[in-house]
Amino acid sequence: MELKHKDITEKIIGASFEVHKFLGNGFQEVIYQRALAWEMRQLNLEFAREIEQDIFYKDLPRPIGTRRADFVVEGKVLVELKAKIVLEDVHLAQVLNYLKAYKLKVGLLINFGSKSLTFKRLVL
Tell me the CATH number at 110.
3.40.1350
Parallel, antiparallel, or unpaired: how do β-strands 106-111 and 77-82 relate? parallel
Q: Could you list the residue range(s) of the whole structural domain that residue 36 is in?
A: 6-123
The answer to whether position 98 is within a domain reads yes
**Is residue 112 very low, low, confident or very high in pLDDT (cuts 50, 70, 90)?**
very high
Sheet holding 118-123, edge to edge: 47-49, 71-73, 77-82, 106-111, 118-123
Instruction: Report the SS3 class of residue 37.
Output: helix
Alpha carbon 34 to its chain's center: 13
pLDDT digits (tens, 9 = 90+) for 5-48: 999 999 999 999 999 999 999 999 999 999 999 999 999 999 99
The answer to whether position 34 is within a domain reads yes
What is residue 71's predicted lDDT score, i.e. its pLDDT? Answer: 96
The answer to whether position 104 is within a domain reads yes
The answer to whether position 70 is within a domain reads yes
First and final CA of the chain: distance in angstroms?
Answer: 16
The answer to whether position 1 is within a domain reads no
88-100 burial, b at 16+ Cβ within 10 Å, e below that, comes to eeebeebbbebbe
CA-wise closest residue to 114 among 25, 35, 17, 14: 25
> How many folded domains does the chain comprise?
1
What is residue 1's predicted lDDT score, i.e. its pLDDT? Answer: 64
